Amino acid sequence: AEAETAEKDAQADYEEMMRDSADKRTLDSKALAHKEQSKAEAEVDLEAYKAAKAGATKELMATLKYIESLHAECDWLLKYFDVRKEARAGEVDSLVKAK
């Protein structure tokens, strides 16, 4: 009788452990599916951010090139300002004398 009771208790413990294990597997499967979905969404976001970064980098390079061209133009104007000023003054003087 005592052995029978011990066996029934052991069987009940085993069945409870199996139910708990099944419940845990179900929860783990749901958690895994949720994490896989989150990962997929994060990967989509990452690709979108990479594309946006590439676009912004391209725009930055174009802007820097434009600034460089403006700088070169301004440098030329500053470098030859005095020469051009004297040339204009000479032209004005020549026009005045020609009258």
In degrees rounded to 5, what are phi and psi of residue 80?
-105, 15
Q: What does the longest C-alpha to C-alpha distance in the chain come to?
A: 140
Instruction: Give the pair of three-digit tokens for residue 39.
Output: 């990962």
Residue 80 DSSP class: T
Q: Work out the average pLDDT over 25-46.
A: 98
pLDDT band per the 50, 70, 90 thresholds, residue 14: very high
As a whole-number percent, the residues of the chain with pLDDT over 70 amount to: 100
pTM: 0.53
Residue 53 has a pLDDT of 98
Instruction: Give the pair of three-digit tokens for residue 40.
Output: 């997929």
In sequence order, what DSSP letters do the residues of 33-61 get, joined into one string?
HHHHHHHHHHHHHHHHHHHHHHHHHHHHH
